[in-house]
């Protein structure tokens, strides 16, 4: 058989950070806190079971929304190009648990309990 799980996960992170300068343009940042996650999940399956000369087809699909909460930790390195603009690179660890979705007798799970994100970009202060 075959199984397909499509999910869009949206996360909102809330928490403090501590920034410490070292050098004229460089600083580091450590932060962490609460993360709220919303997953829009679509799950489908199609299987054929053969037993004792008989064949049974079993299929189904469904979609839904699931909510989880968890925590995150992050560390960043920042380079100030101007007083209002910085480049940054960092890493973030996030634990949102497991999103589960049922369709008939089938269950799909999306494990988001140990996610590592690599961060880089431009930060604008105003």
φ and ψ of 112, to 5 deg = -115, 30
Q: What is the pLDDT of residues 51-93, one digit of tens each?
A: 888 888 888 888 889 999 999 999 999 999 998 999 999 999 9
CA distance 49 to 92: 43
Between the two ends of the chain, the Cα-to-Cα distance in Å is 54
Mean pLDDT of the region 103-125: 89
Distance from the Cα of residue 95 to its chain's centroid: 8
CA distance 62 to 111: 19
pLDDT value, residue 87: 97
């Amino acid at each position: 058989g075959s199984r397909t799980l499509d999910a869009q996960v949206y996360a909102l992170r809330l928490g403090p950070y501590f920034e410490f300068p070292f050098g004229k343009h460089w600083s580091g940042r450590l932060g962490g806190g609460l993360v709220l996650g919303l997953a829009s999940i679509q799950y489908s399956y199609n299987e054929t079971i053969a037993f004792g000369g008989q064949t049974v087809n079993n299929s189904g699909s469904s979609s839904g929304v699931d909510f989880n909460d968890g925590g995150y930790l992050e560390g960043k390195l920042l380079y100030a190009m101007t007083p209002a603009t910085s480049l940054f690179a960092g890493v973030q660890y996030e634990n949102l648990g497991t999103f589960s979705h049922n369709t008939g007798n089938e269950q799909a799970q999306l494990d988001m309990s140990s996610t590592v994100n690599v961060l880089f970009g431009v930060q604008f202060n105003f």
